Structure 1
């Protein structure tokens, strides 16, 4: 089991809303500098534009820094997953996180199973785990139905209990139902705050240990250390007043959250 960062921990710093967006090399080196052992390149379409040489250079750089690479995309179309499996192999990434729906697809349960039936054997042969993330657009029961249908050690759940709150699934319920099938863990804390005038709520991220995520209970259920499940830090950080303050706070959250997780391992 290792602890690391996702591109979602750099959500604003890699975006075009800042004067000098971070690239993959900078994010990778920052992950290593802060003590992270995993870097998950998640929902980052630019990875598809790298040449064979570019992918190899990225793989070698990660190896030299002692950082394991993981990959993430969206959708279950067989041809799309095949492309990302090739990218994962080039990067020596053993985890590919995806989501039920893609930019151009919203499969039924039967359609999802049909697509996975085509591509899952290739993941099994390559020994790359495909992890379907929990989130509000698809009931957790549907994600689990697909995973249970194939009963493969190379198909499981990427657990992110915060995502499911918008579908009125409680984190406790999502953790309990998915725990035996989790192969990858996204860690972010979250909280509700009253809007101005007490009209409704904002549901957003916060530093680990300050919100509603019962981290210790989640770890007790999932048992990542015993099962070799990596913990990947993400953020739901709202934009602040300007780019400088937003980037500074994102960096502060990243450092805090890494220290929080690493302190739990000692």
Structure 2
């Protein structure tokens, strides 16, 4: 069973959502403090705390802080274009990240499939020299078959998947379909539990987040599928915490959901 990590998307509201910024947003050090509290030895710092915007001094402090607590930092980014690849591959090497997780699209940047493949092909020697594979997150636009095409036309040894349990609904694909296609390539698994509820007027459904173990996911079954391929390096708790009336109440709920999720994951053996 692979180890469990926290993410900047475990505590999305505490870090800050555009238009809903707390007075004192959680930073990377705050996330590492929580990992220490819960005896978690890995943390995924994704694009909502962009590492490329930290100064050299701040990066040095963060590395010293994580090393002193024996917490591995997994580096994540959004926007797969050359400048970001160069900077974040450097950051991944600096922090000793076991992979570099990327969401391809960013804002209006939505490159076509052939352009994505060509860009990754051009950068394969850099990933190989660094000894760090690229983990592409299934994120809304691209279907499973598109992601497989990217991998097969680049290098399956250097390019894999960051498998999110919910994101592919945006591409019209359910979890079982995505798992069947992408499990053989999965380097990192995002545990994001959810439920699907029919609207009161019966015309449509709503996908809402849940604490791990409280929704529709059969997490032990999914982990068994991933274990069978012996490729997944880590799994990461993420939450889609539904908002309360105030931001303060939402942040408190988010912490409660994180604690509840970690307790559940410990009961099924997914914890360090």
Q: State the TM-score, normalized to the length of structure 2.
A: 0.91
Structure 1: runs of 5+ lacking an equivalent: none
For 1:161-189, what per-residue CA distance to the aligned partner results, in whole angstroms no more than 9, with x for missing partners?
21112332110110011111111111110
Matched, 1:144 2:145: no
Deviation at 1:94, TM superposition (A): 2.3
Matched, 1:127 2:131: yes
RMSD: 1.9
Q: In structure 2, do the counterparts of structure 1 residues 37 and 224 end up closer, same or farther at CA, with 3 Å as the change threshold?
A: farther
Q: In structure 2, do the counterparts of structure 1 residues 105 and 207 end up closer, same or farther at CA, with 3 Å as the change threshold?
A: same
**Which residue of the partner structure matches residue 33 of structure 2?**
29
1:211 to 211, 215, 219: 215
Deviation at 1:209, TM superposition (A): 1.6
Matched, 1:117 2:135: no
Q: In structure 2, do the counterparts of structure 1 residues 87 and 36 end up closer, same or farther at CA, with 3 Å as the change threshold?
A: same
Query: 79-88 vs 98-107, which deviates more?
Result: 98-107
Query: 118-127 vs 42-51, which deviates more?
Result: 42-51
Q: In structure 2, do the counterparts of structure 1 residues 75 and 256 end up closer, same or farther at CA, with 3 Å as the change threshold?
A: same
**Which residue of the partner structure matches residue 7 of structure 1?**
8
Query: 85-94 vs 114-123, which deviates more?
Result: 85-94
**Which residue of the partner structure matches residue 68 of structure 2?**
64
Q: Is the 8 Å Cα contact of residues 58 and 91 (structure 1) preserved in structure 2? A: no
| Matches of 1:241 and 1:194, distance apart in 2 | 22
**Which residue of the partner structure matches residue 232 of structure 1?**
236
Q: In structure 2, do the counterparts of structure 1 residues 224 and 186 end up closer, same or farther at CA, with 3 Å as the change threshold?
A: farther
**Which residue of the partner structure matches residue 243 of structure 1?**
247
Structure with the largest fraction of helix? 1
Q: Is the 8 Å Cα contact of residues 189 and 210 (structure 1) preserved in structure 2? A: yes
Query: 75-84 vs 183-192, which deviates more?
Result: 75-84
For 1:20-68, what per-residue CA distance to the aligned partner results, in whole angstroms no more than 9, with x for missing partners?
2111111111112112221101113542222222212111111111211
Deviation at 1:105, TM superposition (A): 2.1
Q: Is the 8 Å Cα contact of residues 136 and 164 (structure 1) preserved in structure 2? A: yes
The residue matched to 2:43 in structure 1 has which SS?
A: strand
Matched, 1:257 2:258: no
Query: 184-193 vs 14-23, which deviates more?
Result: 14-23
| Matches of 1:108 and 1:246, distance apart in 2 | 37
| Matches of 1:152 and 1:196, distance apart in 2 | 45
Residue-pair matches, total: 266
Alignment of 1:142-221 (within 5 A): 142-221=146-225
The residue matched to 1:223 in structure 2 has which SS?
A: helix
Query: 107-116 vs 48-57, which deviates more?
Result: 48-57
Structure 2: runs of 5+ lacking an equivalent: none
Matched, 1:49 2:57: no
